[in-house]
């Protein structure tokens, strides 16, 4: 994952970065606000990491002091320079928009940034062939390491659902990019925890009425 800031700085073949390259915050001019039409950019909170504030400011294109879903999606790219899947961006926003404002401020962004970096390390660990995507075998290994021993049939469904493109019909599905890998793991975790809350005797079986089933399904990321 990296920040998208200029197509001229794409580096093919360099698929992983522990952090994005430095970005110079842009200045916005217009007639909407400020003296002479200049909208001043808010300053960093006390004690803020200057580098992290620079990245936040680069994503906050309108200098509102908060990041929207569209701003975040336009800034996040996978190792192959494809834009993050919108559903994944919405999931990240939902996790870190703690005040439910519909945007994320700097402190929420700091938590999101660490979360993504932690997932990057996980992704790199299981991307054994350094292809930039996760195949079925790597996915199974990753989920087992998290404690989820899914059947081959369920693993195939997960792989097909979160593959980075449509299945060709023959051969293995396309690989799972970083953004979709994160969402797949979060969804498996969420559904497993919801099931376990209903499985009071821990026998692997539950009884659900239609409303409870729909609540579990619709609350998944």
For the cut 50, the answer to whether the pLDDT of residue 144 exceeds it is yes
User: pLDDT digit string (tens) for 84-133?
Assistant: 999 999 999 999 999 999 999 999 999 999 999 999 999 999 999 999 99
Round the CA-based radius of gyration of the chain to a whole number and report it.
Answer: 20
Start-to-end C-alpha separation, the chain: 20
The Cα 57–Cα 18 span in angstroms is 19
| pLDDT score recorded for residue 24 | 31
Summarize the confidence of residues 55-65 as an average pLDDT. 91
CB atoms within 10 A of CB 155: 19
Residue reference for tokens 């199974």: 140
- Give the bridge partners for 77, in sequence order: 2, 83
Please report which confidence band the pLDDT of residue 80 belongs to, taking 50, 70 and 90 as the band edges: confident
Residue 9 is given by DSSP the state G
Q: Return the number of other C-beta atoms located less than 10 Å from residue 133's C-beta.
A: 21
Based on the number of CB atoms within 10 Å of its own CB, is 218 exposed (0-12), middle (13-18) or buried (19 or more)? exposed
What are the pLDDT digits (tens) for 2-24? 555 333 333 333 333 333 333 33
Q: What is the Cα–Cα distance from 189 to 147, expressed in whole angstroms?
A: 10
Mean pLDDT, the chain, rounded, equals 81
The pLDDT > 70 percentage for the chain reads 77
Q: Report pLDDT digits (tens) over 162-210.
A: 997 655 556 556 799 999 999 999 999 999 999 999 999 999 999 989 9
Q: How far apart are CA 134 and CA 123, in angstroms?
A: 8
In angstroms, the CA 61 to CA 75 distance is 10
Interval 154-158 mean pLDDT: 94
CA 47/CA 144 separation, integer angstroms? 40
- Give the residue with greater pLDDT, 99 vs 43: 99
Cα angle 82, 85, 79; round to 5: 35
Which pair of tokens denotes residue 203? Answer: 């026998």
Q: How confident is the model at residue 40 (pLDDT cuts 50, 70, 90)?
A: low
Where is 2: in which H helix or E strand? Answer: strand 2-3
Q: Does the pLDDT at position 78 exceed 60?
A: yes
Q: What is the pLDDT of residue 30?
A: 33
């Amino acid at each position: 994952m990296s920040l998208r800031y200029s197509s001229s700085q794409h580096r093919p073949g360099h698929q992983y970065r522990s952090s994005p390259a430095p970005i110079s915050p842009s200045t916005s001019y217009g007639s909407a606000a400020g003296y002479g039409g200049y909208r001043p950019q808010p300053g960093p909170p006390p004690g803020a990491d200057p580098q992290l504030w620079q990245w936040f400011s680069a994503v906050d294109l309108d200098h509102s002091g908060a990041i929207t879903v569209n701003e975040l999606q336009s800034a996040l790219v996978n190792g192959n320079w494809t834009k993050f899947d919108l559903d994944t961006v919405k999931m990240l926003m939902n996790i870190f928009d703690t005040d439910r404002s519909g945007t994320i401020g700097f402190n929420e962004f700091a938590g999101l940034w660490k979360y993504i970096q932690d997932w990057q390390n996980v992704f790199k660990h299981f991307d054994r062939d350094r292809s930039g995507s996760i195949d079925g075998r790597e996915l199974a290994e990753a989920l087992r390491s998290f404690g989820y021993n899914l059947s081959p049939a369920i693993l195939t469904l997960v792989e097909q659902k979160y593959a980075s493109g449509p299945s060709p019909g023959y051969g293995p599905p396309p690989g799972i990019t970083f953004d979709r890998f994160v969402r797949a793991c979060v969804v498996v975790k969420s559904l497993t925890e919801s099931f376990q809350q209903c499985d009071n005797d821990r026998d692997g079986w539950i009884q659900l009425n239609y409303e409870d089933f729909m609540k579990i399904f619709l609350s998944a990321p």
